[in-house]
């Protein structure tokens, strides 16, 4: 992929990384909550099933035990008189758990009670719906004669040898132990024991008709051998479960999104290419001679940064400079330029005459930076002593951007650094700045120079610019001079300095040394 596209893509990385992280975090949230909700749903369902099993088993066990241990042996007692067996009856009832009373029934009449001894009452008066023709019958009673407000079971066991005779046990009914088991599950709102048409519920004291029960039970189970159902009401998942899962999901997805952002930022940090390029030494500097029209000789050089990317090859400075500026990397890049120029300068030192101008292009962003003065002083300290004249080339953008431009320029002058206004005439309202700031050089953009001699243009703008420069006593440097015709025109119009392929292309240090050697040989020969 051409680097231009790669650079474009990189420039949008911060937004893309943010979006990727948001999408990643959201996907994680959805997935996490879905999985955890499903998992918790199954877990709760299993727990509810277990709870129901345990409750049903406990009730079943106590009924079974009551029948086989206490009630069955009493069936034969229905033949006897109450006074002969009442003591036995009472003691059996006393030892059986949850038993309220045992009644002996003969021919439809209860004649003996474990609680009150002998009496005589139709059984239907005690348990209206008990079906005496059945071998076993279980009903819910809203109360018994001695405890009319406390619901109970009426468990009927028929004596197989005698019609309408048998034992009726009234059993205390209490959902509290099962509610205690369910209290760990806030999602279970209630439970009920349903026998035929009536139900004992956890939410009201007396009995309720089946029709009054909530329509959607959570789960139910029938007791084996009894017309009795244990029913749970509520939701599979509690609000607490949902809140916890969603909250954990949000927290974790924030973490995941943040982690993703960090990872992507570190890995695909925009401008990483430039910083890597600096580290790997992919940047170098070429120097283009600046020619004085009076002497026809080089009076200085302009340092132009180059980037040789390992896979992309040479990248035009116009592209990587503005890219570095957009990512706030121009300062490290210019510091690197300072280092490279200082290193080259020590090598060039013996070949370039004392007083040679060393012209550097500076970005307005760097000029406005806090570190600027320190960076410049450090650079000058690293340069060979008393050899070069320093010139900083700045564009009009500097003046537009920085309200303190005047102060910075003054500081540069104090430190013997001259200022050239670069690309003059390409920006806006450049003329204002010419008067306002103390420039030493005015660099005429190569666009103007290249228009010299074309039939379409008589260069009136260039004429005006040169006239103005003369008036303001500014030295002019014409950039991009490629032909003798252009050079002649410029000389004729009083341009004092030139730069362009006509004289030399930008050169690497070795070639620049050759350039200076040739010139001095030519001078000596001349």
> Of the two residues 260 and 340, which places its CB atom closer to Ca ion in the complex?
340
115 binds, among ligand C2E, Ca ion, none (CB under 5 to 8 A by kind): none
| Sheet strands (E) in 351-445 | 356-361, 388-394, 417-424, 441-444
From ligand C2E, Ca ion, none, which one binds at residue 304 (CB under 5 to 8 Å depending on kind)? ligand C2E
The overall longest dimension of the chain from CA atoms, in Å, is 157
Q: Is 316 in the site for ligand C2E (CB under 6 A)?
A: yes
CB of 337 vs ligand C2E, minimal distance in Å: 5
Which of 501, 510, 518, 522 binds ligand C2E (CB under 6 A)? It is 501
Q: Which of 137, 187, 402, 423 binds ligand C2E (CB under 6 A)?
A: 423
State the Cα–Cα distance between residues 205 and 208, nearest whole angstrom.
9
313 vs 319: CA distance, rounded Å: 13
- Residue 194 to residue 213: CA distance in whole angstroms: 10
Residues near 334 by beta carbon (within 8 Å), at least 6 away in sequence:
362, 363, 366, 375
Residue 316 binding partner per list ligand C2E, Ca ion, none, with a CB distance cut-off of 5 to 8 Å that depends on partner kind: ligand C2E
Residue 254 C-alpha from the chain's centroid:
5
Closest to Ca ion by CB, 241 vs 422, is: 422
Cα 307-316-352 angle, rounded to 5 deg:
65
Figure out which of the listed residues 137, 187, 344, 423 binds Ca ion, where binding follows CB under 5 A: 423
Site residue total, ligand C2E (CB under 6 A): 23
Residues from 359 through 388 that contact Ca ion (CB under 5 A): 361
Stretch that binds ligand C2E, among 1-9, 261-269, 498-506, 511-519 (CB under 6 A): 498-506
Number of residues assigned to the chain? 526
Q: Which does 318 bind (CB under 5 to 8 A by kind): Ca ion, ligand C2E, none?
A: ligand C2E
CB 418 within 8 A of CB 389: yes
Which is closer to Ca ion, CB of 77 or CB of 424?
424
Q: How many CB atoms lie within 10 A of CB 453?
A: 13
Within 8 A by CB and 6+ apart from 395, the residues are: 364, 421, 422, 423, 427
Q: Choose among ligand C2E, Ca ion, none what residue 506 binds, the Cβ cut-off being 5 to 8 Å by kind.
A: ligand C2E
Question: Binding to Ca ion by residue 422, rule CB under 5 A?
Answer: yes
309 binds ligand C2E (CB under 6 A): no
Does residue number 368 form part of the binding site for ligand C2E (CB under 6 A)? Answer: no
| Residues within window 462-481 making contact with Ca ion, judged by CB under 5 A | 479
* Alpha carbon distance 356, 55 (integer Å): 101
Residues 103 and 141: beta-carbon distance below 8 Å: no
Counting contacts by CB under 6 A, is residue 506 touching ligand C2E?
yes
Both ends of the chain: CA-CA distance in Å? 52
Determine, following the binding rule CB under 6 A, whether residue 304 of this chain makes contact with ligand C2E: yes
Q: At 369, is the secondary structure helix, strand, or coil?
A: coil
Q: How far is the CB of 260 from ligand C2E (least distance, A)?
A: 35
Is there binding between residue 422 and ligand C2E (CB under 6 A)? Answer: yes
- Cβ atoms 507, 305 nearer than 8 A: no
Return the one option of ligand C2E, Ca ion, none that residue 120 interacts with (CB less than 5 to 8 A, by type).
none
Minimum gap (Å) between residue 359 Cβ and ligand C2E: 9
Q: What is the DSSP string of 177-215?
A: HHHHHHTT-TTEEEEEEEETTEEEESSSSSEEEGGGS-S
Contact (CB, 8 A) for 412 and 392: yes
The percent helix, strand, coil of the chain (3-state, each to 5) is: 50, 25, 30
Q: Which of 190, 270, 277, 500 binds ligand C2E (CB under 6 A)?
A: 500
Estimate the crossing angle of helix 330-348 against helix 372-382, to 10 degrees: 20
Quote the least distance from Cβ 384 to ligand C2E, whole Å.
19
Of 396 and 422, nearer to ligand C2E (C-beta) is 422
Q: How many CB atoms lie within 10 A of CB 273?
A: 21
The angle subtended at Cα 396 by Cα 395 and Cα 401, nearest 5°, is 105
d(CA 38, CA 42): 6
Cβ closer to ligand C2E: 64 or 375?
375
Q: Do the beta carbons of residue 179 and residue 237 sit within 8 Å?
A: no
Nearer to ligand C2E, 392 or 516 (CB): 392
Q: How far apart are CA 520 and CA 82, in angstroms?
A: 146
Least separation, in Å, of the C-beta of 390 and ligand C2E? 14
Instruction: Give whichever of 154 and 333 is closer to ligand C2E, judged by the CB atom.
Output: 333
How large is the angle between the packed helices 330-348 and 509-525, nearest 10 degrees? 40
Residue 482 lies near ligand C2E (rule: CB under 6 A): yes
Q: How far is the CB of 262 from ligand C2E (least distance, A)?
A: 31
Residues 6 or more apart in contact with residue 485 via CB below 8 angstroms: 452, 453
Contact mark string toward ligand C2E, 388..407, x via CB under 6 A:
-----x--------------
> Contact with Ca ion (CB under 5 A): which of 187, 286, 393, 396?
393
Residue 33 interaction partner, one of Ca ion, ligand C2E, none, beta carbon < 5-8 Å per kind: none
Q: Which of residues 236-265 bind Ca ion (CB under 5 A)?
A: none
CB of 502 to ligand C2E, least distance (A): 6
**With binding defined as CB under 6 A, does residue 363 bind ligand C2E?**
yes
Per-residue x/- track, 442-461, ligand C2E (CB under 6 A): ----x---------------
Binding site for ligand C2E (CB under 6 A): 288, 304-305, 316-318, 321, 337, 361-363, 393, 422-423, 446, 479-482, 499-501, 506
Binding site for Ca ion (CB under 5 A): 361, 393, 422-423, 479
């Amino acid at each position: 992929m051409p680097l231009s596209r790669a650079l474009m893509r990189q420039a949008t990385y911060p937004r893309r990384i943010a979006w990727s992280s948001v999408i990643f975090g959201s996907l994680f949230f959805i997935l996490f909550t879905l999985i955890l909700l499903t998992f918790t749903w199954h877990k709760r369902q299993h727990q509810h099933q277990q709870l129901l099993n345990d409750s049903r088993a406990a009730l079943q066990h106590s009924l079974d035990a009551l029948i086989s241990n206490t009630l069955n042996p009493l069936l034969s007692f229905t033949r006897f008189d109450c006074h002969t067996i009442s003591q036995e009856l009472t003691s059996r009832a006393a030892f059986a758990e949850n038993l309220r009373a045992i009644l002996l029934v003969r021919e439809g009449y209860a004649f003996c009670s474990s609680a009150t001894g002998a009496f005589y009452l139709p059984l239907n008066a005690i348990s209206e719906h008990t079906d005496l023709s059945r071998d076993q019958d279980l009903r819910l009673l809203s109360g018994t004669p001695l405890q009319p407000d406390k619901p109970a079971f009426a468990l009927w066991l028929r004596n197989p040898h005698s019609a309408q005779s048998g034992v009726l046990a009234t059993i205390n009914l209490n959902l509290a132990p099962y509610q205690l088991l369910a209290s760990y599950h806030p999602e279970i709102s209630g439970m009920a024991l349903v026998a035929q048409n009536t139900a004992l519920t956890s939410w009201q004291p007396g009995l309720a008709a089946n029709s009054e029960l909530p329509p959607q039970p959570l789960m139910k189970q029938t007791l084996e051998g009894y017309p009795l159902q244990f029913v749970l009401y509520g939701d599979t998942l509690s609000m607490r479960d949902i809140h916890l899962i969603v909250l954990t999901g949000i927290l974790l997805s924030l973490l995941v999104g943040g982690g993703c952002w960090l990872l992507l930022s570190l890995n695909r940090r925009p401008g990483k290419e430039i910083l890597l390029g600096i580290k790997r030494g992919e940047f170098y500097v070429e120097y283009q001679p600046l020619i004085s029209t009076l002497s026809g000789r080089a009076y200085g050089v302009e340092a132009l940064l180059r980037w040789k990317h390992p896979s992309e090859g040479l990248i035009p400075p116009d592209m990587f400079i503005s890219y570095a500026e957009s990512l706030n990397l121009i300062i490290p890049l210019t510091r690197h330029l300072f280092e490279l120029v200082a290193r080259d300068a020590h090598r060039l030192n013996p070949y370039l005459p004392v007083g040679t101008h060393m012209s550097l292009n500076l970005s307005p962003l760097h000029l406005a930076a806090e570190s600027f003065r320190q960076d410049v002083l450090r650079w000058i300290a690293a340069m060979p002593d008393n050899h070069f004249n320093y010139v900083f080339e700045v564009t009009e953008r500097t003046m537009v951007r920085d309200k303190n431009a005047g102060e910075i320029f003054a500081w540069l002058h104090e430190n013997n650094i001259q200022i050239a206004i670069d690309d003059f005439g390409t920006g806006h309202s450049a003329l204002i700045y010419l008067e306002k700031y103390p420039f030493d050089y005015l660099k005429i953009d190569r666009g103007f120079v290249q228009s010299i001699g074309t039939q379409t243009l008589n260069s009136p703008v260039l004429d005006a610019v040169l006239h103005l420069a003369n008036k303001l006593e500014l030295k002019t440097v014409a950039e991009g001079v490629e032909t003798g015709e252009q050079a002649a025109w410029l000389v004729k119009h009083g341009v004092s300095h030139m730069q362009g392929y006509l004289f030399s292309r930008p050169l690497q240090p070795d070639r620049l040394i050759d350039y200076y050697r040739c010139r001095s040989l030519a001078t000596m020969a001349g």
